[in-house]
């Protein structure tokens, strides 16, 4: 049985050719949309990068509007979680894996 996000649906050639673009998806999610639109592997990581970007926006907007607790708890902890998830995504892309990110990996926006 194929696990969600497993490498079974990505060819080794696709992974090797688009690994760098997949890594960049966690820095700027739209790079794979411009540079490797035909790559399923790069699009998977672009989706993960977009979800992570949206989560970062939500954390920062909520943290900015909620006095004290937002400033001293939500912003620092939320951004730390976002950074850790981005590092996990970069490591997965570097290793040629398509593992969903914890907490957010099941959300699919880019098809």
What is the reported pLDDT for 9?
Answer: 85
Residues 18 and 8: their CA atoms lie apart, in Å, by 16
Residues 26 and 9: their CA atoms lie apart, in Å, by 21
Residues 59 and 77: their CA atoms lie apart, in Å, by 9
- Report pLDDT digits (tens) over 85-102: 999 999 999 999 999 999
Centre a 10 Å sphere on the Cβ of residue 88 and count the other Cβ atoms it contains.
Answer: 17
Domain ranges of the chain: 1-8+23-111
> What is the pLDDT averaged over residues 63-87?
95
What is the reported pLDDT for 85?
Answer: 98
Q: How many CA atoms lie within 13 A of 73 on its CB side?
A: 5
């Amino acid at each position: 049985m194929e696990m969600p996000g497993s490498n079974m649906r990505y060819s080794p050639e696709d992974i090797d050719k688009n690994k760098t673009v997949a890594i960049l998806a966690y820095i700027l999610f739209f790079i794979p949309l411009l540079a490797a639109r035909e790559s399923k592997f790069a699009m998977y990581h672009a989706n993960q990068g977009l979800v992570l970007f949206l989560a970062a926006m939500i954390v920062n907007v909520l943290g900015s509007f909620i006095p004290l607790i937002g400033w001293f708890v939500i912003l620092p902890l939320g951004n730390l979680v976002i950074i850790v998830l981005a590092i996990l995504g970069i490591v997965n892309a570097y290793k040629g894996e398509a593992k969903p990110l914890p907490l957010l990996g099941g959300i699919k926006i880019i098809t």
